[in-house]
Structure 1
């Protein structure tokens, strides 16, 4: 930890430190506001619901819609950030056209899948919720790609304001709907309102991209997006696919509690993930374009910073998670929420730790390695959940151990790519990994000593 803090302090001497710090400040401020709004709206709904089961239904709807987007993600924003001609009007216009065509196709696909999915899960409520929620996918296709140019320049003030405005719109709709009729519809309606507000506000926050078509640019976007599709698709299935796999395999109330625990953990952690995509990725891409030596030096500092952040998140989830859950005073259907937050929080902490490695490969244009790592992660997840839940019959507690293991496997699969594209970093990765593991083990040991660690699982 001392090394991590020293590396963070050394960032003051970087020529671009001011730009990074300003971008990071806006990113954290924006996601702080969004996190607060999401937390409040979800907690209001959780307290109004008689049972946690509807939250599981929302998780399935959200996961399916997010999955459709991720398994068809061409990485358009990433391409704008890292491509040398990413800010060119012709590039942006073609990217916008591709983006809208993709969102329209996804909307039609989601609508067509609604009733078959409701039949598969024996849940009639899923069909109308999916039909309604699919509108969010369509709206996101009309987001102005000019926002990605601002991200490329690490000028995050206006993108952050747009995000806050859209989240506030979704918050108002969710809370108003929940107060009138607490149900899964409240969260789905909030998601649709957020997407619509973001698409509209984005048109006024950056120079508008005009629809155009350049076959060479379009072909390049699709070629770049080929590995991105595999990478994001497999990442989605391996990081959120457990929702689809566990639905129906565990009791609905327990599954709803698991979905709520996932939301509690991912909502604040998404701020750090956004920091990686909005600040770290464009900065690394710029450093790599300019000078490999500079990129390597800055990568070392960033790696220690994210290691320290990951350890802090692990400590927070393991030690503070259960007391925080107790303060919510939720009904008995949320009885297992505390230990679920501990498990999922530790997994999220490791995902934070691994952000620099994945970002460095994307910034180098080497999306192949992320695709491979996520494919490995998916295979381990499917095999592990099948073994723990269906063969050994260990239920959700057994599944949680699988969810903790798979990020380590995926991270290990990134190492060949990092060795090739960021040579000289293997010693750094080993040192930071040992630091993270030691930090997490210390938190778990302290929690065990205090008598509050995973008592439900042991029982």
Structure 2
């Protein structure tokens, strides 16, 4: 499933023109012509991507040495077909910052997804429970999307001026998305050919738990900061002045929460998974260190995107990708998967540094705040771990990062 999701994401980003970002940031994003044009382009894209996913099935099965992909990927192609017809109501609510209404729909969708996947897993405890569950939910989410904004309906339309603006802004989103995919999935693509699938699954567990935290921060950035900055229609210095306190508050909430998760990460693995997956407890703390810098980067990306600077994300992800390409193979062959994972976190640091350099030129740098907040995060993690150790829940902080076991820690 790690491989399927990687292919699914990669194919989706082949033609990403940032329809959601366009609707939120463009002053004309809520006009009927603009919305219909965006929806029409999205439909075309969905049909195209579904076809590509179907045609890739045999080649992917051969490349990853997983014959079952020949049968799985054609079904996964339905994700794109249903996604292509998804209403623009979600983006419109985001633009209007109707977070409460948007959250109701998303909570309902997530709850049903949980029920569907659990029922299918009880019926068939195989990968088909995940594949069919995702396909069913893609269809339901598509239908639900048309109920988000009462009266919103779409027609097939290509309005020239709207299409021109979508593509002009979207060309940087496309480039950024391709670089983002390479940087976000380099680990899965590289490790899928270097380690057994069972160990890849262990890594997938640790990566999924770490990504969950990043996605929560991403939600805050995309639903609050990005539309807020877009609506300001101000320059960087003014945005920095008006947004500094809100940004600081958001990160002050995130720091202790992530620190607590980091301090108890090996305990979380022990509670959630049986003995076959306990090695994920070695990987998760290392990934969570990188997650902190990913959260900082997500907030900064949202600000720069609100200033209509989509190219900055591409450059930042390119810096992260270069760290991966150069460092991960060397670290993997020297220290195994633990060394590779350490470089995955180091890549997040490189991305943050790139965004800070670009942000400073746009007068939206927050380096002093970030240094203090990083110190707070690390201190909180150590304190939480010591308290957990004293009351008998976990081992010491040294046991959370068993660096002396790096060579051959996981094989």
Aligned to 1:73: 16
Aligned to 1:26: none
Task: Select which of 229, 232, 242 maps to 2:174.
Answer: 229
Change (3 A) 1:450 1:420: closer
Q: Does 1:435 align with 2:380?
A: no
Offset of residue 150 of structure 1: 1.2
Q: Does 1:335 align with 2:273?
A: no
Q: Does 1:98 align with 2:41?
A: yes
Map of 1:197-208 to 2, 5 A cutoff?
Answer: 197-206=140-149, 207-208=152-153
Q: Deviations over 1:213-251 (max 9, x none)?
A: 112211221111111111122122212321111103122
Say which is worse superposed, 159-168 or 170-179, in terms of deviation.
159-168
- Kept in 1, the 8 Å contact 2:260–2:380? The answer is no
Aligned to 2:87: 144
The separation in 2 between residues aligned to 1:416 and 1:367, in whole angstroms, is: 15
Task: Select which of 192, 195, 202 maps to 1:257.
Answer: 202
Q: Between the two structures, name the one with larger relative contact order (CA 8 Å, sep ≥ 6).
A: 1
The separation in 2 between residues aligned to 1:166 and 1:271, in whole angstroms, is: 16
Task: Select which of 244, 251, 273 maps to 2:218.
Answer: 273
Offset of residue 109 of structure 1: 0.6
The separation in 2 between residues aligned to 1:116 and 1:291, in whole angstroms, is: 48
The separation in 2 between residues aligned to 1:69 and 1:137, in whole angstroms, is: 8
- Kept in 2, the 8 Å contact 1:310–1:350? The answer is no
Q: Is the partner of 1:452 in helix, strand or coil? A: helix
- Kept in 2, the 8 Å contact 1:306–1:356? The answer is no
Aligned to 2:249: 305
- Kept in 2, the 8 Å contact 1:310–1:353? The answer is no
Change (3 A) 1:450 1:150: closer
Give unpaired runs (5+ residues) of structure 2. Answer: 387-394
- Kept in 1, the 8 Å contact 2:297–2:351? The answer is no
Aligned to 1:8: none
Offset of residue 441 of structure 1: 5.6
Offset of residue 434 of structure 1: 4.2
TM-score by length of 1: 0.81
Offset of residue 143 of structure 1: 1.0
Q: Is the partner of 1:213 in helix, strand or coil? A: coil
Report how many aligned residue pairs link the two structures. 395
Q: Deviations over 1:194-223 (max 9, x none)?
A: 221111001111122332111221122111
Change (3 A) 1:402 1:109: same
The separation in 2 between residues aligned to 1:187 and 1:228, in whole angstroms, is: 29
Aligned to 1:33: none
Q: Deviations over 1:21-55 (max 9, x none)?
A: xxxxxxxxxxxxxxxxxxxxxxxxxxxxxxxxxxx
